Amino acid sequence: MSQNSAPQAPAGASVATSLAGAGLRSRRRRKATDRLMTFLVYGAFAVTLIPLLSLVFEVVRRGMARLDGEFFTSSMVGIVGKGGGVYHAIFGTLIITGLTVVISVPIGLLTAIYLVEYGTGRLKKAITFLVDVMTGIPSIVAGLFAYALFAIFFGPGIRLGIIGSVALSVLMIPVVVRSAEEVLKLVPTELREASYALGVPKWRTIVKVILPTAIAGLGTGVTLAIARIIGETAPLLVTVGITNATNLDPVNGRMATLPVFAYYQLTQPGVPPEFAIDRAWTAALVLIMLVMGLNLVARLISRFFAPKTGR
C-alpha cells in the first residue's frame, strides 16, 4: 500500500490527473527535447568544423614537404622539375597587396567618414547603394574591369602588377567602407558634442577625436579586408599573369603572386608532375599562414590600440 507522503498518484488513477504526474510527463518531454537540441547543435558544429579541419590538415600534410630554405629563397628561374621556390611570388603578393591597401584604405575610409559624419539625403543613399553593389562584384569581373581600363592606354595583352592592385581595390574598397562605417557609428555622440562644445570645428573633431577613438576598430577592419583579398586568384590571372623570375616592379611587366603561382603549378606541372604539385601545396600553405598571421595582427591591433580604461 502506498501510504507515503511523497506526491504520487494513488494506484489506479491515471498519471495525468495528479500535478506531480503532469509535471513528470512534461519534465520527460523537456529532457528529450533538450537532448535532441544538444545533439543537433553539436552536430551542426561538427559538420562546420570537419571540412575546415580536414582542409587545414590536408594542406599542412601535403605542404610540409617543401617547407625548406630553398623554397623561400629562390624563384622559378631555370627550374625544370625538382627545386625552385616562391621567393618571387611572396614578394609579388606583398607588393601588389601593399599597393592595394594604399589605394583602398584612403578611399574607403574617406567614404565611410563622409557617410557617417556628413552624408544626408539622396547622395548618401546613392553611395550606400553603390557600395552594397560593389560588395557583390565577382572577382573575375573586377579583374576584367581593371584589365580593360589599362588596355585602353597600353593595348591588349598588358600585364602589370599595378593593374592587379586596381582590380583588388575594387574588391577591397567596399569591405573597408562597410567595416569603417560600423566602427565610426559606434563612437558615441557625446564625444562629438564634447568636442563641438569646446568650439572645435567638425573636421578637427573627426581627425583628432573620432578617428583616434575608433582606430582599434579601423585597424582590425582593414586587416581583415586584406586577409580577404590576399588570396584572390581570378583577377590576378587576367591582370598580372605569372613569371618565373623575380620582378619587384609593379609598373613594368608581369609579376608572380602566390595564388596564381599555385594555379599554374597545378595546371601546368610539366613532367614529372610531383614536384610542381608539391610546390603548389606549399604555396597554398604559405598563403594560409599569411592569412592567419594577418588575423593575429588584427587581434593585436585591437588589444593594443583600444582606449585604455585603467580601472
Partner 1 sequence: MAKRIDVSDLTIFYGDFRAVADVTVSIEPRSVTALIGPSGCGKSTFLRSLNRMHEVLPGTRVEGKVVMDGEDLYGPGVDPVEVRRHIGMVFQRPNPFPTMSIYDNVAAGIRLNARKMQKADLDDLVERSLLGANLWKEVKDRLNRPASALSGGQQQRLCIARAIAVEPDVLLMDEPASALDPISTLAIEDLMTELKERFTIVIVTHNMQQAARVSEQTGFFTIDGPGQPGRLIEFNATEKIFSNPDEQATEDYISGRFG
Q: How far apart are CA 265 and CA 32, in angstroms?
A: 53
Q: Output 14 or 311, the one with its CB closest to partner 1.
A: 311
Which among 42-50, 72-80, 105-113, 188-196 is the span making contact with partner 1, rule CB under 8 A? 188-196
Q: Give residue 121's region: left, alpha or beta (phi > 0; psi -120 to 50).
A: left
- Alpha helix ranges (H) inside 119-198: 121-135, 139-154, 161-186, 189-197
Is the four-CA dihedral 8, 12, 15, 17 of positive or negative sign? Answer: negative
CB of 215 to partner 1, least distance (A): 8
Minimal distance, residue 195 CB to partner 1, in Å = 7
CA distances for 6 relative to 3, 9, 18, 231, 235, angstroms: 9, 9, 12, 68, 75
CA 276 to each of CA 72, 115, 210, 214, 244: distance values in angstroms, whole numbers, following the listed order = 15, 48, 50, 45, 13
Q: Residue from 22, 32, 80, 191 that binds partner 1 (CB under 8 A)?
A: 191
Stretch of 100-108, 175-183, 190-198, 238-246 contacting partner 1, by CB under 8 A? 190-198
Q: Does 195 bind partner 1 (CB under 8 A)?
A: yes
Among the listed residues 35, 38, 86, 22, the one whose alpha carbon sits nearest the alpha carbon of residue 265: 86
Give min distance, CB of 190 to partner 1, in A: 4
Nearest distance from residue 201's CB to partner 1, in Å? 5
Considering the complex, what minimum distance in angstroms separates the CB of residue 298 from partner 1?
19
CB of 283 within 8 A of CB of 88?
Answer: no
Longest Cα–Cα distance of the chain, Å, equals: 101
Name which of 187 and 258 has its Cβ closer to partner 1. 187
Identify which range of 91-99, 109-117, 187-195, 270-278 contacts partner 1 by CB under 8 A. Answer: 187-195
Subset of residues 196 to 225 that bind partner 1, contact rule: CB under 8 A: 196-201, 204-205, 208-209, 212-213
Q: Specify the residue, 113 or 166, whose C-beta has the smaller distance to partner 1.
A: 113
Task: Specify the amino acid at residue 195.
Answer: S
Instruction: Go through the chain and tell me how many residues it has.
Output: 311
* Residue span binding partner 1 (CB under 8 A) among the ranges 133-141, 149-157, 161-169, 195-203: 195-203
What is the nearest approach in angstroms of partner 1 to the Cβ of residue 296?
24
Closest CA to 284 of 266, 262, 269: 262
Reading phi first (left if > 0) and then psi (alpha if -120 to 50, else beta), residue 117 is in alpha
Quick one: 55 or 194, whose CB is closer to partner 1?
194
**Which is closer to partner 1, CB of 209 or CB of 287?**
209
Q: Work out how close the CB of 128 gets to partner 1 at its nearest, in angstroms, rounded to a whole number.
A: 17
Question: From residue 225 to residue 264, what is the string marking binding to partner 1 with x (rule CB under 8 A)?
Answer: ----------------------------------------
Is 201 in contact with 210 (CB distance < 8 Å)?
no
Q: Using CA atoms, how far apart are residues 281 and 262, in angstroms rounded to an integer?
A: 7
The number of CA neighbours under 13 Å toward the Cβ of 222 is 20
Contact 250, 96 (CB under 8 A): yes
2-61: contacts with partner 1 (CB under 8 A): none
CB of 272 to partner 1, least distance (A): 59
Residues in the interface with partner 1 (CB under 8 A) total 25
Residues that bind partner 1 (CB under 8 A): 120, 188, 190-201, 204-205, 208-209, 212-213, 307-311
